[in-house]
Chain A
Amino acid sequence: QQQVKQSPQSLIVQKGGISIINCAYENTAFDYFPWYQQFPGKGPALLIAIRPDVSEKKEGRFTISFNKSAKQFSLHIMDSQPGDSATYFCAATGGTNAGKSTFGDGTTLTVKP
């Protein structure tokens, strides 16, 4: 049973546009929701993270929106740039085996110049 569902699988956006990636979770014990950015051949790197007591967190061009009642969270990339082209994974931790990160399946973002 997949505990974190991520969509879309792939996304193509023009330079300067807004990229939106959505995730939904099932386990209400999750209490930390990071987003990771991964470039080909590299390890995932933390982009931004949120806890469920906050509805929105913004860091530069990256914003997480969190809807606790709907058990959904999303990543918005404003003014998308070609250098943002990468695979993005949402994740969740908490509850039993709290250190274990449960990942979404990933979204491959391509930003066209």
Chain B
Amino acid sequence: DTEVTQTPKHLVMGMTNKKSLKCEQHMGHRAMYWYKQKAKKPPELMFVYSYEKLSINESVPSRFSPECPNSSLLNLHLHALQPEDSALYLCASSQDDLGGTEAFFGQGTRLTVV
């Protein structure tokens, strides 16, 4: 199983809503990532979890709150988002965060903030 599964695939939320994105992998990977991707742009790293601990936060606004409940799951909690936060949110995993190995990406959640 080389899949990273993300739910939901699409999400429309108002600026006052609270929602969560979910990501799951069963490859035994110990590093998991959240990326944000705007149209025609490369993925932009938001957070890195290594062995279930947050290791990198790329100065992401606090309206995005990551959580890693266990080694297979990664959540991204959303609150009070802005329309400019509309994007494709990608989860990825890799064997570890030491580099030198490929990252497996999920299909993404297409988020629209209205």
Contacts and interface: CB of A to CB of B under 8 A. Distances in A.
B11 interface: no
A98 B100 contact: yes
Contacts of B92: 43
Interface in B2-51: 4, 6, 31, 33, 40-43, 45, 48, 50
A73 B64 CA distance: 35
Nearest to A90: B42
Interface residues of B, number: 30
Contact of B110 (A41, A44, A46, A103): A41
Nearest to A9: B40
A43 B94 contact: no
Nearest to A44: B105
A60 interface: no
A32 B42 contact: no
Contacts of A105: 41-42
B106 A43 contact: yes
